[in-house]
Copies of this chain bind each other. A is one copy, B any other.
Amino acid sequence: MSAQNSVLVVGSIALDDVETPFGKRENAIGGAAIFFGIAASYFTHIRIVGVAGEDFPEATLEMLKSRNIDTSGIEIADGKTFRWGGKYHEDINCRDTLYTHLNVFADFKPKIPKSFENTPYIFLGNIQPQLQLDVLKQIKNPKFIALDTMNLWIHTTREDLLKVMQKVDLVLINDSELHELTDELNLLKGLDKLHQMGPKIAVIKKGEHGAYLSYARQLFYCPVYPVYQPTDPTGAGDSFAGGFMGYLAASNRIDFRTLKKATIYGAIMGSFLVEHFSVDGLLNLKKEDIDQRYKAIRAMAML
């Protein structure tokens, strides 16, 4: 893959304390940029911009570098890494946030390294819309920009968020965020409003219920790859986004068919992620593993 296939991701870098019905993990490597980056690195070259604290393991940075990921945009700031603590319910689709310590992430001001300025594929992870706008000012000639966000920004910084939305090609959010963004519980009505806000393309993730891709008034539906034991869903959405953007950038074509396949690769990377704690499910995949799930997801749709 050459520079024309590179993906730049800007987002959080975290250490998580996670408890699920299947176990517990402290100091788990996490954060949207990390999940996204590792998932996407199976497809193409990745550049991460984010901030970590002095306690972030050097070994993890080395692991990222060994995987087709440029970490020169990861700033190590004085202080501690962003930390999230969460506990999942018996129904693993529900969770409680136990704490959120922003730490060094509180003062995050994304600085795009000169060598990243011309990256063609951009993923704006879930950070303040004002910071997402700052990122867009620092990049040159992007080919494709995708956006994630969350309910906090939808409610507290809606005007800024709407400004970002006018500048992006794709919004990749979950269904509850679509409802909050558009005030519509109905998928079709929500999508109509979302597209009116700017993005021509939308991916609506529905967790264990799969995902819709909406493009040019057409829908594509992708089911999840069902797994026997989802162990830790933390980062599933970011891994989905990584698989999606990684495949799209590697293909370097923006058409409905390629976007559909990207949605499937998103679902695949999400399915690997949830099977283990932290990033573990993403670490040792072979091309055949990914191909096998691609075939399985397609088989579920074939007559």
Bitwise, A208-229 to B at CB < 8 A (1) or not (0) is 1110000000111101001111
Q: Which of A59-93 contact B (CB under 8 A)?
A: 90-92
A209 in complex: contacting residue of B91, B210, B227, CB < 8 Å: B210
With CB as the reference atom, state the residue of chain B lying closest to A218.
B299
Q: Are A185 and B228 within 8 A (Cβ)?
A: no
The complex places the Cα of A160 from the Cα of B226 at a distance, in Å, of 31
Instruction: Report the minimal beta-carbon distance from A247 to chain B, rounded to whole angstroms.
Output: 13
The answer, yes or no, to whether A261 is at the interface (CB within 8 Å) is yes
The answer, yes or no, to whether A253 is at the interface (CB within 8 Å) is no
With most chain B CB atoms within 10 A of its CB, the pick from A189, A227, A301 is: A301
Q: Which of A246-303 contact B (CB under 8 A)?
A: 257, 260-261, 298-303
Instruction: Report the minimal beta-carbon distance from A215 to chain B, rounded to whole angstroms.
Output: 12
The complex places the Cα of A219 from the Cα of B226 at a distance, in Å, of 10
Chain B residues near A3 (CB-CB < 8 A): none
Interface of A is mostly: loop
The answer, yes or no, to whether A152 is at the interface (CB within 8 Å) is no
Q: Which of A83-130 contact B (CB under 8 A)?
A: 90-92
With most chain B CB atoms within 10 A of its CB, the pick from A92, A209, A260, A298 is: A209
Q: Are A90 and B228 within 8 A (Cβ)?
A: no
Q: Are A300 and B219 within 8 A (Cβ)?
A: yes
A92 in complex: contacting residue of B185, B206, B208, CB < 8 Å: B185
The answer, yes or no, to whether A157 is at the interface (CB within 8 Å) is no
Q: Are A91 and B185 within 8 A (Cβ)?
A: yes
The answer, yes or no, to whether A1 is at the interface (CB within 8 Å) is no
Chain B residues near A185 (CB-CB < 8 A): 90-92
The complex places the Cα of A46 from the Cα of B155 at a distance, in Å, of 52
With CB as the reference atom, state the residue of chain B lying closest to A213.
B300
With most chain B CB atoms within 10 A of its CB, the pick from A187, A189, A206, A303 is: A303
The answer, yes or no, to whether A230 is at the interface (CB within 8 Å) is yes
With most chain B CB atoms within 10 A of its CB, the pick from A91, A219, A300, A302 is: A300
Q: A residues engaging B (CB < 8 A)?
A: 90-92, 185-189, 206, 208-210, 218-221, 223, 226-230, 257, 260-261, 298-303
- A-B CB proximity, top 9 nearest: A301-B301, A209-B209, A221-B223, A221-B300, A188-B228, A187-B226, A219-B300, A188-B226, A260-B303
